[in-house]
C-alpha cells in the first residue's frame, strides 16, 4: 500500500493504521504482544512529559481533569488487524478525540516493530508501512467505524476483569463485567445492557502483556451484545481493550441511521 502520511494536515487525527510485514506469519493469538510493543515504542520517553495532550498516548493520570478535557476513556486504543487465516496483517491506533500534530507526528515516526531485549513466543518483528491516517471511518472502516447500532458481536475475544466463583452463574459474571465497562467507558447509567449471548471460551489467545506481572484473563467470544442506546463504532470494551481485546463489530439488525448518537 502507498504511504499516505504525506500531506496530512495539522488537524486532529483519530486513526492511524499500518501494514505489518514480517518474515514469518504473525499469529493472531499473540496480537497483544504487537500492540503492547507498538505502544511502548511510541510512548518511550514520555514519563516526565508536561504536555497534557500526551495523556492520549500514555493513558497515565486519568481522572476528572482528563475526562473534562477529552471525555470518557479517551486515550488511545492500540489494535491489531487479522486476516481470515488468523494472522496479524496490520496494526492500528484509534483515539476518539483525535491526536494533535505533535502526538500524531510522534506516532508516525515509528516505522518498525522491533523486538525487545527479551523474547516471547509468538512475537514477530517487522516493518510498519502507514496505510491510513485520518478519521476512524476513513482509516478503519472494517472495525465498524462510524456505524451506529444497538447490537454488537465480538471481532476479538472479550477479556473479563471479574473472576468467576462457584456460587455464581457464568452468565451473570460476564453480564456484570460488560455492564461495568459500559459504565466506565460511557458514563454510569448512560448505556444499559439488555441482552448478552456468548459462545465458546477463547483459551487459545495470549491475554497478558509483555510485563511479567500482568496476569492472564479469562476470555470469551460474545455472539450478541444488545444495549438500550445505540453506540457508534469502533466499540472496544473489557480488560486490555486498549491493547486490542474486546473489539466489537455491529450486527445488521441493530443498525440505525440517526447520526446524532453517542
pLDDT digit string, tens, across residues 157-206: 999 987 665 546 778 889 999 999 999 889 899 999 999 998 767 778 99
Range name among 36-40, 182-186, 237-241 with the lowest pLDDT average: 182-186
Write down the pTM of the prediction. Answer: 0.89
- Given a contact cutoff of 8 angstroms between Cβ atoms, the answer to whether 17 and 90 are in contact is yes
Q: Which of 235, 54, 31, 247 is CA-nearest to residue 146?
A: 235
pLDDT at residue 9, rounded to an integer: 42
Of the two residues 259 and 89, the one the predictor is more confident about is 89
Please give the backbone phi and psi of residue 34, each rounded to the nearest 5 degrees, phi first.
Answer: -70, -45
Instruction: Calculate mean pLDDT across residues 241-248.
Output: 96
Highest mean pLDDT among 8-22, 61-75, 94-108: 94-108
Amino acid at each position: 500500500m502507498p504511504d499516505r502520511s504525506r500531506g496530512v494536515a495539522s488537524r486532529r487525527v483519530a486513526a492511524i493504521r499500518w501494514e505489518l510485514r514480517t518474515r514469518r506469519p504473525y499469529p493472531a493469538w499473540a496480537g497483544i504482544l504487537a500492540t503492547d510493543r507498538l505502544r511502548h515504542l511510541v510512548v518511550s520517553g514520555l514519563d516526565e512529559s508536561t504536555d497534557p495532550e500526551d495523556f492520549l498516548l500514555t493513558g497515565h493520570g486519568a481522572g476528572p481533569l482528563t475526562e473534562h478535557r477529552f471525555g470518557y476513556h479517551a486515550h488511545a486504543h492500540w489494535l491489531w488487524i487479522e486476516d481470515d487465516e488468523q494472522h496479524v496483517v496490520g496494526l492500528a491506533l484509534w483515539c476518539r478525540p483525535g491526536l494533535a500534530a505533535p502526538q500524531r507526528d510522534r506516532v508516525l515516526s515509528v516505522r518498525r516493530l522491533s523486538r525487545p531485549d527479551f523474547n516471547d513466543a509468538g512475537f514477530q518483528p517487522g516493518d510498519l508501512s502507514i496505510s491510513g491516517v485520518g478519521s476512524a471511518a476513513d482509516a478503519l472502516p472494517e472495525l465498524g467505524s462510524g456505524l451506529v447500532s444497538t447490537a454488537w458481536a465480538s471481532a476479538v475475544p472479550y477479556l473479563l476483569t471479574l473472576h468467576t466463583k462457584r456460587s455464581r452463574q457464568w452468565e451473570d459474571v460476564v453480564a456484570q463485567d460488560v455492564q461495568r465497562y459500559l459504565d466506565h467507558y460511557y458514563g454510569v447509567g448512560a448505556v444499559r445492557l439488555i441482552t448478552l449471548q456468548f459462545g465458546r471460551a477463547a483459551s487459545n489467545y495470549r491475554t497478558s502483556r509483555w510485563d511479567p506481572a500482568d496476569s492472564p484473563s479469562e476470555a470469551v467470544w460474545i455472539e450478541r451484545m444488545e444495549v438500550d442506546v445505540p453506540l457508534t463504532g469502533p466499540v472496544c470494551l473489557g480488560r486490555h481493550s486498549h491493547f486490542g481485546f474486546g473489539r466489537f463489530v455491529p450486527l445488521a439488525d441493530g443498525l440505525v441511521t440517526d447520526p446524532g448518537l453517542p
